Structure 1
Amino acid sequence: MRKKVAIIAFDGITPFHLSVPCLVFGGQHGESLFEVSVCSAERGPMRTTAGFDIAARKSLRALAGADIVIMPTWHDDCRPAPPALLQALRRAHAQGALIVGLCLGAFPVAEAGLLDGRTVTTHWAFAGQLAARCPLVRVDQEVLYVDEGDVLTSAGAAASLDCSLYLLRKLAGADYANMVARRLLVAPHRDGGQAQFIERPLPVSGSDCRLSAVLDWVQHRLAEEHSLDALAQRAAMSRRNFTRHFRQATGTSFKQWLLNQRLAHAQRLLEKSDAPIEVVAQQSGFGTALSLRQHFRAAFQQTPSAYRRLFL
């Protein structure tokens, strides 16, 4: 059965933000998996920031039967969300819908109380306003997106694509998400992160070719041991320069990046093969099944076996 995706539009919306989830979950490639609807509290034509009008065919009542509800952005002045929108978000969440707040869309989601005591991210320039508006949430402006299980939020602009592709990968698997990413001409961001946080991915192309070449070399040898000294030597850098360049390029440490790469490789093996967990652990660089289970549960809050069952 197709999952119902409700995307909320409003008067004054930025077309780019609205188009992101429509492109990722809609179109011909998504017809067999998702039923996408754009809905709004307003009736009739709605203005956009690009100078043309749009109209939604459905009202906020469409949220009641949705599996996924996406708030793709919000007004740049971060005005309080109307009570009808907040109530619709709360009702959809209570009925089991996954709620997604992309970019400034995190504001209405947080205002609805769906992230109280939890972590949220949004565009870095508006993080302070969100923290002041919703003091019960923890705002992290350093990450691309945050997965709280039943609520996802993303940073600004292009990070909405990252978050949407991440969610698509969770729902439909790596191969499908990669196919969609190729159609959109963007890189599929598949790195896991510590707990529910997704670290900044490795750039598709970097100015430091030596660093990129070394990391590509590591990605093809995840089952092997890697030391900073050996990798710095391969990159013709000192250990200090290698560490500095690495953090500038990826936003994280080499140890965390390597763990993310190994977790992502383990996910791919679990999705696409029936290899025993012990073999998956060895091929992804964890060595033992126990080590894989410990790291996998810490990152994704489930066991490798439970994750595999999602793709059977």
Structure 2
Amino acid sequence: MAILALDHVVPFDMAAPMTVFDWTRLPDGRRPYRVRLCAESPEVRSDGGFGLRVEWGLQALADADTIIVPGCSEEAGPPSAAVLAALRRAAEAGTRIASVCVGAFVLAEAGLLDGLGATTHWVAADALARRFPRVDVRPDVLYVDNGQILTSAGAAAAMDMCLHMIRRDLGSAVAAHSARMSVMPLEREGGQAQFIVHEFPPVPRGSTLEPLLEWIEDHLADDITLAALAARTGMSERTFGRRFREQTGTTPLQWLLRARVRRAQYLLENSDHPVERIARQAGFGSPTAFRERFRRVVGTTPQAYRAAFHGKTDTVPAARS
């Protein structure tokens, strides 16, 4: 297995797969993976402010059965022609290739993601879709497995992808042991959608809708109808809907639903209120409607979201073997 360290590599993106695969053991204690760090040149700058001395060159890619491409910072610039050519040759030879976080941009630059589903960190998903329109970007998942080509979201999601690869290679028992060594579940509920900050497109200052949007934020628990919103602006419903889309890029209903989900996320993170009360406070008609909408937007249940993001300061007990 080769991990390709490009200039300005993100340390965590590089270290996460190195650690997960290095800790993997077969039932008899043997290491099933031999992990090599390789680079185009022996000296590599990291995004963490330190340098790396790398023993293996690009030739290691030709000898590997799996290649992992970590992400790099924006300072890195585009990958070199030599790197892209080495990745293409490896893909043509049938080598499994996976990316971590924005490492997906390198695979896309090499043409390895054309016509395939792929993911990256949610912050960079729109940029990946714009730059590489032939890639089916899926911003709400932790990883995408196309068989030979895999992509993962942020560095933590790379661990999910690596455990998936280990299970695919060696079975669930070995993967479960690797998960325990990494102190993480073998599978996490929900995808990347639960980590996305659902912000709205900025409304220009002085917009005719600015006072209305502020009013909506203050009255999310109320029964708000399209007719009532149009009446507050003095427009017909048809004119109001057209103006709203022009200034916000979405419909009044979609804006309202996103605002309610965002309010519910805040309450789940910062209160101990039961889900039924949060459904009312966020303006959903029933707990069932709330759960369905929340899962559709966030990718997980309100209870699971609270378990992951509630801001409690309780001491976490040490993991046991």
- What TM-score, normalized to structure 2? 0.60
Q: Deviations over 1:285-309 (max 9, x none)?
A: xxxxxxxxxxxxxxxxxxxxxxxxx
Distance 1:77 1:136, change over 3 A: farther
Give the number of the structure whose alpha-carbon radius of gyration is greater: 2
- TM-aligned CA deviation for residue 40 of structure 1: 0.3
* Structure 1, unaligned runs of 5 or more: 192-197, 212-236, 254-312
- TM-aligned CA deviation for residue 248 of structure 1: 6.5
Residue among 292, 301, 320 paired with 1:243: 292
Name the residue aligned to 2:131. Answer: 133
Structure ranking higher on relative contact order (CA contacts 8 Å, 6+ apart): 2
Name the residue aligned to 1:163. Answer: 161
Name the residue aligned to 1:144. Answer: 142
- TM-aligned CA deviation for residue 123 of structure 1: 1.1
Q: Deviations over 1:51-100 (max 9, x none)?
A: 22211111010111111010011333573211101001011111110010
Residue among 48, 51, 54 paired with 1:53: 51
| Structural mapping, 1:33-112, within 5 Å | 33-43=32-42, 45-77=43-75, 79-112=77-110
Name the residue aligned to 1:15. Answer: 11
Distance 1:170 1:6, change over 3 A: same
Is the 2:3–2:35 contact (alpha carbons within 8 Å) kept by the matching residues of 1? yes
Q: CA RMSD in A?
A: 2.9
Distance 1:47 1:169, change over 3 A: same
Is the 1:200–1:251 contact (alpha carbons within 8 Å) kept by the matching residues of 2? no
Distance 1:240 1:128, change over 3 A: closer
- TM-aligned CA deviation for residue 186 of structure 1: 1.4
Within 2, Cα distance between the matches of 1:202 and 1:179?
Answer: 26
Q: Deviations over 1:160-203 (max 9, x none)?
A: 11111111121121221111111111121177xxxxxx845999
Q: Deviations over 1:114-135 (max 9, x none)?
A: 1111111111111222222222
Q: Does 1:118 align with 2:124?
A: no
Instruction: Work out the number of aligned pairs and report it.
Output: 215
Q: Partner amino acid for 2:40?
A: A
Name the residue aligned to 1:180. Answer: 178
Aligned residues with identical type, % of pairs? 38
Secondary structure at the aligned position of 1:57 is classed as coil
Name the residue aligned to 1:221. Answer: none
Distance 1:47 1:93, change over 3 A: same
Is the 2:8–2:45 contact (alpha carbons within 8 Å) kept by the matching residues of 1? yes
Is the 1:199–1:252 contact (alpha carbons within 8 Å) kept by the matching residues of 2? no
* Structure 2, unaligned runs of 5 or more: 196-267, 276-285, 303-321
- TM-aligned CA deviation for residue 243 of structure 1: 2.9
